[in-house]
Amino acid sequence: MRLRLDKMSRIPKLPVMTATKENKPNLLNRRPIPRTLGNGLSDADKKDLIINHTKPVVRSGPSTAMPAQRLKRSATAPSSVTVVPKVNKVEKKVVVAPKIAPYDYKARFNDLLGKHKNMKSEFEDLKEKHIEVSDSYEKIKDSVQSTVNERDRLKENLLKTLTELREKSTEFDKLTVDLNIQKIENESLQRKTVLLDEITSSLKLKTAELDKLQSDYNDLSRQHKSLKEETEALRVLTDHLRKISIEFEKLQLDYKEAQQTIAQYKSEADILRNILDAMHKEQRELRNTIQDLKGNIRVYCRIRPPLESELGKPLFNLNVLDACSIEVEKIELLNSARKGKSQHAFSFDGIFTPHSSQEDVFAEVSTMVQSALDGYNVCIFAYGQTGSGKTYTMEGGCGTEQYGIIPRAFNMIFTCMDELKRMGWDITVKASFLEIYNEVIYDLLNSSKDQENHEIKMVNSKGSDVYVSNLKEENVKNSHDFIRLMIFAQRNRQTAATLNNERSSRSHSVAQIKISATHEKRKEKYTSNLNLVDLAGSESGKTSQRMDETKHINRSLSELSKVILSLQTNQSHIPYRNSKLTHLLMPSLGGNSKTLMLVNVNQFDECFSETLNSLRFATKVNNCRVVKAKKNITMFDS
Ligand SMILES: Nc1ncnc2c1ncn2[C@@H]1O[C@H](COP(=O)(O)OP(=O)(O)OP(=O)(O)O)[C@@H](O)[C@H]1O
């Protein structure tokens, strides 16, 4: 904008022309051009010329002079008018006529005629010239007219341009003024902008400062508020403290008294703890003495009730004579080989009738579990023919009420462990599950098909303890852990049974629990093994369809019976190693252990002979009284 204005300012200002009469351009003021002949002759001149020619004129010389008036007029003619071509001067030959006598009229007439003739020709020339001049005049007139028109148009254009120029100039002036004003305003605005910028930046600084101050203020107010609250709380606390300090002083007195009382109680508690320990010891010893008196091999008989599906089956007579004796009786049909009555009485450490619950059974067995906790090796096994209730007795059914000896033993161990821990014992429990099938050991905690080779090996050179190589042994922290492991082992056993047609009935299943206890204070420690065995069905070869398995079972069961008999008769050599089962149970069957056998029987007529066999075997075992069991307890140095 400024650039444009600058450019405009360079245009020279034109004088402002007002259309007054005086100021009008000369073009307008010019007088009309007088109509003249081409050489500037007026009509009067032409008349003069004709008259003069009619008069005899005596001329001293060729007359070239134009009439003065005509010359004068020519001089005033505007210079701008197109130059009119000069009229050729009529060249007049001055002929000096001979003097004619005044009387010679004829001569004079002839002379006049001559003159007339000359004049006429002259006139004709002039006339031609007049026409010529008239033509050129007309041309000039036209040209003048067009020039005038052109001039008028130009004039008009000029006027228009001038007006426009004047308008533009006025506008330009205005714009210049506006520009100057704008410039001034701009400068002032710039100054104001700079000022405003400065003010803005200073305002920003101030705002930031204000914000900081505000946040500081907020912080301070918060602090003030919290301080106020704290002060209030402190005041309350101080009041409270004052009260407490009064109470504290009282309490201090009470505390001193209490300390004295506690010291007194402590010494009494120590005495009591010692008494309790002694009592525990005595109780344990008494319990074990009772067990010793009862015998370290104890045998119980459990009679299984018929299941709903078996209610129609014929039963033989089974009379429970007292808490420890039963009588079985079968009346043989008259046409059978053995006619007559077959009656047999048996005595054991206890009899569990078909009405005895799992709890009843465990109540008797629990003393054995307690012995394991006291540091004795214990072996509990269920013996009997297939389907007599061995697995039910050892493992049980669904639900806690149906729990058998194994889960109940574990629950008891963990309950007692808490008490033992309170008494200063640190106890760890490990469990493993195995199966002996056809004299081969299978790890029931290993679900892989390819089982490793498991061998029974000595723990030490004394040969008092054994272990099974490559057998998984799980640390058990609580009874849930144990139940989980037991279910896992049961599933593995069932899978093997499905693959190997009723294998579970034909294999011995052993749950091994290893208890390790340490009493740091007393420097006592012991380990004990609790073997819970579900033996294979004890069918005789005659009734069994599967001879191979039966042979193995019967061999291991007869080896078990041999071991028990050797123990009974105090033999120097006990044939533990003759079967995997006796070898494995060696630490729990020897002199340093307690054994409990549950002989399971059922009352079906068809099972009479097998029942008799089982009861006879159990009687043999029951008659066996091994030497007094020894605790595994030892002392250790810290
Ligand atoms: N005391 C009992 N009360 C109720 N049901 C019982 C009892 N004893 C056993 N049973 C039931 O009898 C059936 C056979 O028992 P179980 O499987 O324990 O016999 P088993 O001797 O272990 O047989 P196997 O040698 O084939 O393993 C099972 O259904 C079991 O639940």
Ligand 1 center from residue 337 Cα (angstroms)? 32
Residue among 391, 395, 535 to mutate when testing ligand 1 (max atoms within 8 A of CB): 391
pLDDT tens digits, residue range 404-461?
999 999 899 988 888 888 888 899 999 999 999 888 899 999 877 777 788 888 877 7
Ligand 1 atom closest to the Cα of residue 386 is 25
Which residue pairs from 437-442 have beta carbons closer than 8 angstroms and sit at least 24 positions apart in sequence? Answer: 437/496, 437/500, 437/503, 437/506, 437/507, 437/508, 438/507, 438/548, 438/549, 438/552, 439/552, 439/556, 439/579, 439/580, 440/580, 441/468, 441/471, 441/580, 441/584, 442/496, 442/507
Q: Each residue of 262-279: pLDDT tens digit?
A: 888 888 888 887 787 777
Q: How far away, in angstroms, is 394 Cα from ligand 1 center?
A: 10
Find out whether 390 is annotated in a ligand binding site.
Answer: yes
Mean pLDDT of the region 97-104: 78
- What is the secondary structure of 339-387 as a DSSP string? -EEEEEEEE-SEEE-TT--HHHHHHHHHHHHHHHHHT-EEEEEEEESTT
Residue 34 pLDDT > 80: no
Nearest-CA residue for atom 2 of ligand 1: 304
Q: Which amino acid is at 601?
A: V
Whether the predicted pLDDT of 70 surpasses 50: no
Ligand 1 site residues (CB inside 6 A) read 304-305, 307, 384, 386-392, 397, 504-505, 537, 600
Atom of ligand 1 lying closest to residue 395 CA? 18
Atom of ligand 1 nearest to the CA of 502: 26
Q: Facing residues of 511 across strands?
A: 433, 532
Question: Is the ipTM value over 0.95, yes or no?
Answer: yes
Q: Is 527 annotated as a binding residue?
A: no
Closest CA to 531 of 544, 520, 547, 515: 515
- pLDDT for 479: 82
Q: How far is Cα 397 from Cα 37, in angstroms, rounded to an integer?
A: 163
The owner of tokens 């012995």 is: 371
Distance CA 581, CA 212 (A): 88
Contact by Cβ (8 Å): 461, 432: no
- For 150-185, the pLDDT digits (tens) are 889 898 889 898 888 888 888 888 888 888 888 898
Residues 525/634, Cβ–Cβ less than 8 Å: yes
Q: How far apart are CA 591 and CA 333, in angstroms?
A: 46
* Residues in a beta bridge with 431: 474, 513
Q: What per-residue string of b and e applies to 179-194 under the rule 16 or more CB within 10 Å gives b?
A: beeeeeeeeeeeeeee
User: Of 53-67, 179-193, 334-348, where does the model show the most confidence?
Assistant: 179-193
CA–CA distance, 87 with 70 (Å, rounded to integer): 13
Residue 151 CA to ligand 1 centre (angstroms): 147
Q: Are the beta carbons of 348 and 618 closer than 8 angstroms?
A: yes
Residue 111 CA, distance from chain mean position: 149
- Evaluate if pTM is beyond 0.80: no
Q: What residues have CB less than 8 Å from 633, skipping those under 6 apart? A: 375, 524, 525, 526
Residue 363 has pLDDT above 60, yes or no: yes
| CA 304 to ligand 1 center in whole angstroms | 7
Ligand 1 centroid – CA 405 distance (Å)? 14
With tokens 């704290």, the residue in question is: 230
Kind of pairing, strands 350-352 and 297-304?
parallel
Task: Give the per-residue pLDDT at 16.
Answer: 41
